[in-house]
Chain A
Amino acid sequence: MKKQKFRFLSMILIAFMFLLAACSGGGSKSSSGGGSGESGGEGTVNIGYTGPLSGPAAFYGERTLNGVKMAAEEINEAGGVDIDGKKFKINVVSLDDKYLPNEAGSNAKRLIQENETPIVFTPHSGGIFALQVFNQIDNFLIGAYSSEPAIAEAKNPLTVMIPPRYDRYLPPFTKYTMERFGKKIAFLPTASQYGKDWAEALQPYWEEQGGEVVYNASIDFAKDTDFFTIITNALKEKPDVMFIGGASEPTAKVVKQARELGFEGGFVIMDQAKLDEMSRALGNSYEMLEGSIGVLPLVNSEEAAVPDYVKKYNEKYGEDPGSEAGLNYIAMHIMAKAMEAANSVDDPAKIREHIEDGIANIPEEAKIYRVDGIDKEGGNFLYQLEVGAVEDGKVITVPAE
């Protein structure tokens, strides 16, 4: 009898587990920024999003989605997308792909078939490559958020690559750290494919400039408990500069442990990690990051629209926005203006053709980056690139060119 009771209890418990797991997993979420109705010259256009909304990269996915959503809400508040006098409200439909390319692919199919989305945003290179396989057949535009140069090199006519290509960072990063610290560099990026690609791009450039790679390894943040061993080995070669990167917080730990082991040189930081997030993980101080160079944190940007944007974002999401939110935000605004210029909300090719007009018409309050245009073939936004370096405990802007 007692045994049966226990069995029953444990069954209830297991059922409860599944229920909870299902709840936290999260399915499709649709959020319309304002009211959505189709009365009196009004319509709705669905914008798709597929990204990691659960699992270890969930916070990254959330931030990119926040950028798209925030822009959509602002556009809706201003009346919507104006096509020949008819106003279209933007409705963002988001699906979770758990950071997996295959899931991103099936999500995109679902978004096209169920929601007829002309544009699908996705924030990871694996997902983008998967979508590029069939986006011309299924006819939708990819809002690609990844700095992987191969995305532009695919010359897919229906892809818009949102962030600057990471190879554009190589010259300013190399020049700054070489001049300030010296020519010997140790490579310790994250062990992901992205980290390896970055290292492979940086190595030839660094050597071309007369530098030397004295240590070349990678850190697996998913497997190593302590980085002391590997950093000790890297420092044995007496590097002047270290190339590190990965998610901001573990990268910050690498900085901390390198400093503990007596490293006094500079850091070249991969664009995945953000200086401001790293300083937060190091107790809100830039002291240990002295001599680091990386992507300019959005909060340190001198663009006129930035302070207001940071304030708005903070009110809404309770944290400072990074480039994940910021770049997706400006991209959504550009897409909306491109739709107006193309006079269409459902022809991806036409929208893509008019991206240039979209860039020219970015609303003043959304100009948080200086976008000059779009690379015709690769579909990459062209920026006036600025990078951030840490000098005397503060982030300063360094022009990229």
Chain B
Amino acid sequence: MDILIQQLFNGLTLGSVYSLVALGLTLVYGILHIPNFAHGALYMVGGYITLTMMTQAGLNYWIAIVISCVVVGGLAVLMERLVFHPLRHAPAIHDKIAAIGIMLFLEALVQFIWGAEYQTMVSPYGQVVNVAGVTLTMQRLLIIVSTVVVMIVLYIFLKKTFTGATIIALSQNREGANLVGINTNRVAMLTFLISGALAAIAVSLSAPINLVFPGMGHLVLTKAFVIIILGGMGSIPGAIAGGYILGFTESLGATYLSNDYKDVIAFVILVLILTIKPNGLFAKGGH
């Protein structure tokens, strides 16, 4: 029983990180209509910015996260302006190639600046908490709680504010949104900003339990792709649900079936869901 609760907790931690990354990816999908392959690289850059702010500038963990959000958000906006915006009338394949190009560029750049070695991010929340035989660490609790907070804030923003509604409008129909007077350029930039900030939050929360290194974006990006396909491309509830489904599948699958096959199990679930609902769990009619 203890094992089950412990593994549910482990799955929740994993799922939270996956969901945050997938949320950013799914939001941008609404604008680009392709998965943004460079999203993992944004995640990685966020890790380095937070780390540098903490170690070099000696800033507080939370301030470092805020700066990282701004920098990575800015980088995502720059990406949209310089690369994706000029390509908006081009065939989708051009966006894909550009996104892969950006990913390779950012990885090489980070390695050039910070080097290839593993770096450790020490968070101030290293304490271990034992509750009824289950081991929780403060950092993991922080991941779970922060993710929920971020999701609620994002939900309120998208559903209850006018600016949020424009983002949804744009993802539903770009021309229609333009016709009713929405400044599509501004909204596209805003979406990229949010997506970058989400990546920075996700990495800043999860890096203390792992390490910071140039290849770290790949860890989450492939998983995030699976999640947004599972949840329905462009769907926000889909990204959240998909993230937790994958997190729980990995931890429970590794425990009760086999550790070596935990990725296989995740993909079998993907196949099953797509067989029953070919457009994903929360697919919208629009696309």
Q: Which residues of A contact B130 (CB under 8 A)?
A: 262
For the complex of A and B, 6 pairs with smallest distance between CB atoms: A249-B118, A6-B86, A58-B116, A59-B117, A24-B112, A17-B105
Please tell me if the beta carbons of A249 and B211 are within 8 angstroms of each other in the complex. Answer: yes
Question: Would you call the interface of chain A mostly helix, strand, loop, or mixed?
Answer: helix
Interface residues of A, Cβ cutoff 8 Å to B: 3, 6-7, 9-10, 13-14, 17, 20-21, 23-25, 54-59, 217, 222-226, 228-230, 232-233, 236, 247-250, 253, 257, 260-262, 281, 283
Q: Known: A6-B86, A56-B213, A232-B6. Contact between A14 and B13, CB under 8 A?
A: no
Please give the distance in Å from A74's CB to the nearest CB on chain B: 26
- With A13-B82, A17-B101, A21-B108 in contact, is A233–B128 under 8 Å at CB? no
A253 partner residues in chain B, CB cutoff 8 A: 209-211
Complex Cα distance A21/B17, Å?
A: 30
- The docked-state distance in angstroms from the alpha carbon of A250 to that of B220 is 17
Contact B219 A225 (CB under 8 A): yes
Given contacts A21-B104, A56-B213, contact A10 B135 (CB under 8 A): no
Residues of A within 8 A of B119 (CB): 249
Looking at the assembled complex, report how far the CB atom of A343 sits from the nearest CB atom of chain B, in whole angstroms. 42
Contact partner of B112 among A20, A222, A248, CB < 8 A? Answer: A20
Tell whether, in the assembled complex, residue A59 and residue B116 are in contact, meaning their CB atoms are under 8 Å apart: yes
The stretch among B29-37, B177-185, B233-241, B249-257 that forms the contact with chain A is: B249-257
The reply to whether B86 and A217 form a contact with Cβ atoms under 8 Å apart is: no
What's the A-B contact tally at a CB cutoff of 8 Å?
114
B interface residues, how many (CB within 8 angstroms): 48
B218 cross-chain contacts in A, Cβ below 8 A: 222
In Å, the complex CA distance between A24 and B104 comes to 12
The answer to whether A281 and B122 touch (CB under 8 A), given A225-B14, A232-B3, A232-B10, is no
Q: Which residue of A lies closest to B90 (CB)?
A: A7
Q: Is the CB of A229 within 8 A of B116?
A: no
Q: Is the CB of B7 within 8 A of A229?
A: yes
Residue in A54, A57, A58, A233 whose Cβ sees the most chain B Cβ within 10 Å: A233
Q: How far is the CB of A217 from chain B (nearest CB, A)?
A: 5
Distance (whole angstroms) from the CB of A236 to the closest CB of chain B = 6
Question: Is A226 a contact of B209 with CB atoms below 8 Å?
Answer: yes
- With A56-B215, A230-B259 given, is the CB distance from A10 to B137 under 8 Å? no
Q: Which of A23, A226, A261 contacts B135 (CB 8 A)?
A: A261
B278 within 8 A of A: no
Partner of B82, one of A9, A247, A261: A9
Interface residues, chain B, with chain A CB atoms under 8 Å away: 3, 6-7, 10-11, 13-14, 17, 82-83, 85-86, 101, 104-105, 108-109, 111-112, 115-120, 122, 128, 130, 135, 137, 140, 206, 209-211, 213-215, 218-220, 250-251, 254-255, 259-260, 263
Answer whether A24 and B259 are a contact pair too, CB < 8 Å, given A10-B83, A56-B213: no
Q: What residues on B are CB-neighbors of A230 within 8 Å?
A: 254, 259
Q: Is the CB–CB distance between A223 and B219 below 8 Å? A: yes
What B residues does A223 contact at CB under 8 A?
219, 263
Nearest CB of B to A137, in Å: 34
Q: Verify A250–B118 contact, CB threshold 8 A.
A: yes
Given that A14-B101, A20-B108, A233-B259 are contacting pairs, would A7 and B135 also be in contact in the complex, using a CB cutoff of 8 Å?
Answer: no
Q: Are the CB atoms of B109 and A20 closer together than 8 Å?
A: yes
- B86 to A7, Cβ gap below 8 A? yes
Q: Are B120 and A281 in contact (CB under 8 A)?
A: yes
Pair A20/B105 contact, Cβ less than 8 Å: yes
Least Cβ distance of B143 to chain A in Å?
9
Check if B211 sits within 8 Å of A217, measured CB to CB.
no
A144 to chain B, nearest CB (A): 23
Can you list 23 A-B pairs with a CB-CB distance of less than 8 A?
Answer: A3-B86, A6-B86, A9-B82, A13-B83, A21-B105, A21-B108, A23-B112, A24-B112, A57-B116, A217-B260, A223-B263, A225-B14, A225-B206, A226-B209, A226-B210, A228-B140, A229-B7, A229-B10, A230-B254, A233-B255, A247-B118, A260-B135, A283-B122
Q: Are B250 and A229 in contact (CB under 8 A)?
A: yes
Contact of A250 among B101, B128, B211, B214 (CB under 8 A): B211
CA of A38 to CA of B117, assembled, Å: 39
> In the bound complex, how far is the Cα of B98 from the Cα of A6, in angstroms?
14
Report if A222-B215 is in contact (Cβ < 8 Å); known contacts: A17-B105, A24-B112, A229-B11.
yes
Given contacts A21-B104, A226-B14, A229-B255, 12 further A-B contacts (CB under 8 A): A10-B82, A10-B83, A20-B105, A24-B112, A54-B116, A226-B10, A226-B206, A229-B11, A232-B7, A232-B255, A236-B3, A281-B120
